[in-house]
Amino acid sequence: MTANSDDDVLKDDAVAHHDHDEGSALPEVALRVRALESLLVEKGYVDPAALDELIDAYETRVGPRNGARVIARAWAEPEYKAWLLEDADAAIAAMGFTGRQGEHMLVKENTPKVHNMVVCTLCSCYPWPVLGLPPVWYKSPAYRSRAVSDPRGVLEEFGVTLLPSQAVRVWDSTAELRYLVLPMRPEGTEGWGQEELARLVTRNSMIGTALALNPADLAGTEQEGG
């Protein structure tokens, strides 16, 4: 892999041609699913609200919860972190998270010097076993293009402002290789257990469009919900 500047779009050499498996067959499948959904709703077999709730669960809760457990373990166990960065497939599989769209993954670690962000410039390749379904914005043409041309601008729109000295590296996922970001562990979490740490990890922080929550953020969220 090569880097030409501080803000780079990077590909693994093995997938530089960016071959995707979401070609002509995907629109046909998507249309069939939409038609089936419309028919089931029309016949009264499916409640649209319940369907939206189910999709939201997989998109924002079930999948990301798996990824959060992976990140929390990496924060808590240096040996596991080293394994995760060296062989993400094996390290993630050891926690029981495997399946379609997650056959081959790489984990990129955020540091004070480098911030990583993930995109799929041609479609919506995404590591389902650890992140669930991709959010709508991840699949949008605007994100797919601007994450490459203006990554700092995109990050600012997500509320992330980096130091000028911090490089941005944008990783382009493909059907053969999908990326997961290991966010920096927040300060003030020394002595925390993995379950506590996992609550600080959000879906967006594992895509790179957010930072992990800090303890104050978590406390504020709990107060609002309580």
| pLDDT (tens digit per residue) in 132-149 | 888 889 999 999 999 999
| Rounded CA separation 102/131 (Å) | 10
Query: Do 88 and 130 touch, CB atoms closer than 8 A?
Result: no
| Rounded CA separation 36/161 (Å) | 43
| Rounded CA separation 4/156 (Å) | 23
Residue 25 within a domain: yes
| Rounded CA separation 22/44 (Å) | 31
Residue 216 within a domain: yes
Task: Give the CATH number for residue 163.
Answer: 3.90.330.10
Residues 6+ apart with CB under 8 A from 190: none
Q: Is 125 a catalytic residue?
A: yes
Query: Do 74 and 182 touch, CB atoms closer than 8 A?
Result: yes
Residue 212 within a domain: yes
Residue 90 within a domain: yes
Tokens of 46: 């499916």
- Comparing 40-44, 62-66, 116-120, 203-207, the range with the smallest average pLDDT is 40-44
Residue 32 within a domain: yes
Catalytic option among 5, 38, 124, 165? 124
Residues 6+ apart with CB under 8 A from 108: 116, 118, 169, 171, 179, 180, 181, 182
Residues 6+ apart with CB under 8 A from 198: 65, 68, 69, 71, 72
Q: How many CA atoms lie within 13 A of 49 on its CB side?
A: 0
| Rounded CA separation 226/217 (Å) | 14
Predicted pLDDT at 124: 81
Q: Calculate the average pLDDT of the chain.
A: 81
Residue 1 within a domain: no
Mean pLDDT over 112-131 rounds to 90
* Alpha helices, DSSP H, located in 43-180: 48-56, 63-76, 78-86, 88-93, 128-131, 136-139, 141-149, 151-157
| Rounded CA separation 54/60 (Å) | 10
Query: Do 201 and 147 touch, CB atoms closer than 8 A?
Result: no
Tell me the residue range of the domain where 142 lies.
Answer: 7-225
E-strand ranges in the chain read 7-10, 105-109, 114-119, 167-172, 178-182
| Rounded CA separation 44/26 (Å) | 27
Instruction: Check whether 201 has a pLDDT greater than 80.
Output: yes
| pLDDT (tens digit per residue) in 39-83 | 777 777 778 777 777 666 666 556 799 999 999 999 999 999 999
Q: If you search the block for the tokens 């504020």, which residue do you land on?
A: 220
Residue 137 within a domain: yes
Catalytic option among 38, 123, 149, 165? 123
| pLDDT (tens digit per residue) in 77-115 | 999 999 999 999 999 999 988 656 556 899 999 999 999
Tokens of 53: 């709730």
Q: Is 123 a catalytic residue?
A: yes
Please state the domain count of the chain. 1
Residue 179 within a domain: yes
Catalytic option among 5, 125, 140, 165? 125
Catalytic option among 120, 145, 149, 165? 120
